[in-house]
Structure 1
Amino acid sequence: MQISNSLILLSLLSSLILCSSSSSIQESEAAIESLLKRLDSKRSPASVQEAAARGVLQRLLPTHLSSFEFKIVSKDGCDGRSCFRISNYKSSRRNSPQILIEGTTATEITSGLHWYLKYLCYVHVSWDKTGGIQIASVPKPGALPRVSDNVVIIQRAVPWNYYQNVVTSSYSYVWWDWERWEKEIDWMALQGINLPLAFTGQEAIWQKVFTEDFNITAEDLNDFFGGPAFLAWARMGNLHAWGGPLSQNWLDKQLLLQKQILARMLELGMTPVLPSFSGNVPAALKAIYPSANISRLGEWNTVDADPRWCCTFLLDPSDPLFVEIGEAFIKQQFKEYGDITNIYNCDTFNENSPPTDDPTYISSLGSAVYAAMSKADKDAVWLMQGWLFYSDSSFWKPPQMKALLHSVPFGKMIVLDLFADVKPIWKSSSQFYGTPYIWCMLHNFGGNIEMYGVLDAVASGPIDARLSENSTMVGVGMCMEGIENNPVVYELMSEMAFRSDKFQVKEWLKVYSHRRYGKELHQIEAAWEILHRTIYNCTDGVADHNTDYIVQFPDWDPTLHSRSDLHQENQMQKIPGIYRNRRFMLHEISSPLTQPHLWYDTQDAIAALKLFLDAGNELAGSLTYRYDLVDLTRQSLSKLANQVYLDAISAFQNKDANALVVQSQRFLQLIKDIDVLLAADDNFLLGSWLESAKSLAVNSDEAKQYEWNARTQVTMWFDNTKYIQSKLHDYANKFWSGLLQGYYFPRASMYFSHLSKSLSEDKAFSLEDWRKEWIAYSNEWQAGTEHYPVKAQGDALALAKDLYEKYLR
Structure 2
Amino acid sequence: MAESFERRKVLGYGVATGAAVLAGVVGAADLGRPRMTPAEPVDAGTAPGGTAEPMAARLEPPPEAFDTTPARQALRRLLPAHAEQIDLVAVPARDEVDRYRITGPSRPAPDVAVAIEGTSTAALLAGAGWYLKYLAGVTVSLPGDSLGQLPERLPAPSTAVSGAAVVQHRFALNDTENGYAGAYRTWADWQRLLDVLALHGCNEVLVPLGQDEVYRRVFAEFGYQPEELDAWLPAPAYQPWWLLANLQGVAGPTPPEVRAAGVSLVRDIVARLRELGLAPVLPGYAGMVPPGFARRHPGAPVVPQGDWDGYQRPDWLDTRDPLYARIAESFYRHQDELYGSGTAYKMDLLHEGGTSGGVPIGAAAVAVMTALQTARPGATWVMLGWQDNPRREVLDAVRACGLAACRTGRVLVVDGISDRGDTFDREGQWGGTAYAFGTITNFGGRSLLGANAPTWADRYPKALARPGSALAGTAWLPEASGHDPAAFELFTELAWRADPVDLADWFDRYAARRYGRRDDAAAQAWQAFARTAYALAPGPFSQAQDSLFCAWPDLSATAAAPDGPGMRYDGAAFQDGVLALLRADPALRAADAYRYDVVDFTRQALANHARVLLPRIKAAYVGRDLAGYRELTGRWLDAMRLLDALLATDERFLLGTWLRSGGYDARSLITTWGGRKPAAALHNYGARELAGLVADVYLPRWRRHFAAYETVITGAATDLAAADWYAADDAWARSGTGYPTTATGDPFAAANAVLALATAP
TM-score range, shorter chain: 0.7 to 0.9
2:69 to 51, 58, 69: 51
2:545–2:567: 8 Å Cα contact kept in structure 1? no
**Which of 645-654 and 634-643 deviates more?**
645-654
1:765 aligns with 2:719: yes
Shifted more, 619-628 versus 479-488: the winner is 619-628
| Cα deviation 1:64-86 (Å, max 9, x = unaligned) | 3432222222222xx66221122
| Secondary structure of 1:497 counterpart | helix
Match of 1:262 in 2: 270
Aligned 8 A contact 2:437 2:460 in 1: yes
Offset from partner CA, 1:405-427 (integer Å, 9 cap, x none): 65644862111111112249861
Decide whether aligned partners of structure 1 residues 399 and 337 sit closer, same or farther in structure 2, where only a CA change above 3 A counts. closer
Structure-2 residue corresponding to 1:716: 672
Once residues 247 and 582 of structure 2 are traced to their aligned partners in structure 1, the CA distance between those partners, rounded to angstroms, is: 47
Q: Could you tell me which amino acid in structure 1 is paired with residue 570 of structure 2?
A: D
Judge conservation of contact 2:562–2:681 (CA < 8 Å) in 1.
no
The yes-or-no answer on 1:604 pairing with 2:573 is yes
- SS across alignment from 1:415: strand
The alpha carbon displacement at 1:496 in A equals 1.2
Would you say 1:743 and 2:697 are equivalent positions?
yes
Q: Secondary structure at the match of 1:620?
A: helix
User: How far does the alpha carbon of each residue in 1:367-407 deviate from its partner, in whole angstroms, 9 at most, with x for none?
Assistant: 122122122123222110011337x9xxx5x6676457656
Q: 2:754 — aligned with what?
A: 803
In the other structure, the counterpart of 1:321 is 323
2:180/2:237 contact within 8 Å kept = yes
Q: CA deviation at 1:192?
A: 1.1
- The reply to whether residue 336 of structure 1 matches residue 338 of structure 2 is yes
From 146, 163, 172, give the equivalent of 1:163: 172
CA distance in 1, matches of 2:394, 2:198: 38
CA distance in 2, matches of 1:31, 1:350: 35
1:139 corresponds in structure 2 to: 151
Q: Does the C-alpha gap of structure 1 residues 94 and 412 become closer, same or farther in structure 2, counting only changes over 3 Å?
A: closer
Counterparts of 1:171 and 1:80 in 2: how far apart (Å)? 34
- Equivalent residue, structure 2, for 1:42: none
Query: Does 2:713 match 1:788?
Result: no
The residue matched to 1:737 in structure 2 has which SS?
A: coil
- For residue 112 of structure 2, what is the aligned residue in structure 1? 97
- Tell me which moved more, 256-265 or 783-792: 783-792
Residue of structure 2 equivalent to 1:16: none
One-letter amino acid of the counterpart of residue 120, structure 1? L
- Paired residue for 2:45? none
**Residue correspondence of structure 1 range 145-156 to structure 2 within 5 A:** 145-149=155-159, 151-156=160-165
| Paired residue secondary structure (2:443) | coil
Q: Does the Cα contact within 8 Å between 1:449 and 1:546 map onto a contact in 2?
A: no
Report the Cα offset of residue 553 of structure 1: 2.6
Partner of 2:87: 69
Q: Which residue of 2 aligns with 1:5?
A: none
CA contact (8 A) 1:216 1:284 kept: no
Distance 1:80-1:52 versus aligned 2 partners, 3 A rule: closer
Give the CA deviation at 1:484.
1.0
Q: Aligned pair 1:587/2:562, yes or no?
A: yes
Aligned-pair Cα RMSD in Å: 2.9
The reply on whether 1:636 has 2:612 as its aligned counterpart is: no
1:718, 1:726 within 8 Å by CA — same for their partners in 2?
no
How many residues of Structure 1 are paired with residues of Structure 2 in the alignment? 702
Give the partner amino acid of 1:223: A
User: CA–CA distance in 1 between the matches of 2:193 and 2:228?
Assistant: 34
Cα contact 1:85–1:102 (8 A) shared by 2: yes
> Is residue 223–residue 282 contact of structure 1 (8 Å, CA) maintained in 2?
no
Contact 1:389/1:425 (8 A) holds in 2: no
**Residues 100 and 596 of structure 1: CA distance in aligned 2, closer, same or farther (over 3 Å):** closer
CA separation of 1:48/1:785 partners in 2, compared to 1, >3 Å: closer, same or farther?
Answer: farther
Please give the alpha-carbon distance, in whole angstroms, between the structure 2 residues aligned to 1:804 and 1:664: 17
Give distance in 2, aligned partners of 1:32 and 1:388: 34
Q: Which residue number corresponds to residue 192 of structure 1?
A: 201
State the match for 2:447 in structure 1.
Answer: 449
How much does 1:548 deviate?
A: 2.8
Query: Structure 1-normalised TM-score?
Result: 0.81
- Quote how far apart the aligned CAs of 1:209 are: 1.3
Partner Cα separation in structure 2 for residue 327 and residue 107 of structure 1: 31
Deviations 1:718-744 (A, max 9, x none): 2117xx954311000101111111100
Residues 731/546 of structure 1: CA separation in 2 closer, same or farther (3 Å cut): farther
Which of the residues 644, 648, 672 maps onto 2:617? 648
Once the two structures are superposed, what CA deviation does each residue of 1:17-39 show, in whole Å capped at 9, x if it has no partner?
xxxxxxxx99x977999xxxxxx
Q: Residues 161 and 516 from structure 1, CA distance in 2 versus in 1: closer, same or farther, beyond 3 angstroms? A: same
Contact 2:574/2:605, CA 8 A, preserved across alignment? yes
- Structure 1 residue runs of 5 or longer lacking an equivalent are 1-24, 34-44, 303-308, 574-584, 589-594, 695-705
Residues 348 and 431 of structure 1: is their aligned pair in 2 closer, same or farther, counting only changes over 3 Å?
A: closer
Does structure 2 conserve the Cα–Cα contact (< 8 Å) formed by 1:526 and 1:608?
A: yes
- Partner residue of 1:202 out of 187, 194, 211: 211
User: How far is the alpha carbon of 1:681 from its aligned partner?
Assistant: 2.1
Does the CA-based 8 Å contact 1:719-1:726 persist in structure 2?
no
CA contact (8 A) 1:49 1:267 kept: no
Q: 2:244 is matched with which residue? A: 236
Q: How does 1:656-735 map to 2 (within 5 A)?
A: 656-690=625-659, 692=660, 694=661, 706-720=662-676, 725-735=679-689
Q: CA deviation at 1:58?
A: 1.0
Pick from 596, 600, 603 the counterpart of residue 627 of structure 1.
596
Instruction: Assess, with a 3 A threshold, how the Cα gap between structure 1 residues 242 and 259 changes in structure 2: closer, same or farther.
Output: same
Task: Give CA deviations for 1:145-200 in whole Å, capped at 9, x if unaligned.
Answer: 33222x32211101121001100011114112222211111111111111111222
1:275 aligns with 2:283: yes
Q: 1:801 to 1:223 in 2, by over 3 A?
A: same
Cα distance, 1:546 vs. partner? 4.3
Query: What is the 5 A alignment of 1:342-741?
Result: 342-355=343-356, 361-389=360-388, 402-403=396-397, 408-409=406-407, 412-423=410-421, 427=425, 429-430=427-428, 432-543=430-541, 544=543, 546-554=545-553, 587-588=562-563, 597-615=566-584, 617-690=586-659, 692=660, 694=661, 706-720=662-676, 725-741=679-695
Task: Point out where structure 2 has 5 or more consecutive residues left out of the alignment.
Answer: 1-8, 18-62
Q: Aligned in 2, Cα 1:196/1:31: closer, same or farther, shift over 3 Å?
A: farther
**Secondary structure in structure 2 of the residue aligned to 1:62:** coil
* Alpha-carbon spacing, 1:379–1:635, altered in 2? closer, same or farther (3 Å): same
In the alignment, is residue 215 of structure 1 matched against residue 223 of structure 2?
yes
- The 1:552/1:31 distance shift into structure 2, 3 A limit, reads farther
Shift of residue 513 of structure 1?
A: 0.9
SS of corresponding position for 2:437: strand
CA distance in 2, matches of 1:388, 1:672: 39
2:147–2:591: 8 Å Cα contact kept in structure 1?
A: no
Q: 2: CA distance between counterparts of 1:660 and 1:646?
A: 11
The change in CA–CA distance for 1:756 and 1:596 in structure 2 (over 3 A counts) is: farther
**How far off is 1:430 after superposition?**
1.7
Q: Deviations over 1:319-369 (max 9, x none)?
A: 222222122211222233344x221111122113443799xx221121122
Instruction: Say if 2:562 and 2:683, in contact at 8 Å, map to a contact too.
Output: no
Question: Could you tell me the TM-score, scaled by structure 2's length?
Answer: 0.86
Whole-angstrom CA distance in 2 between matches of 1:642 and 1:454 = 21
Distance 1:766 1:319, change over 3 A: farther
- 2:104 is equivalent to residue 88 of structure 1: yes
Shift in alpha-carbon separation, 1:507–1:250, aligned structure 2, 3 A = same
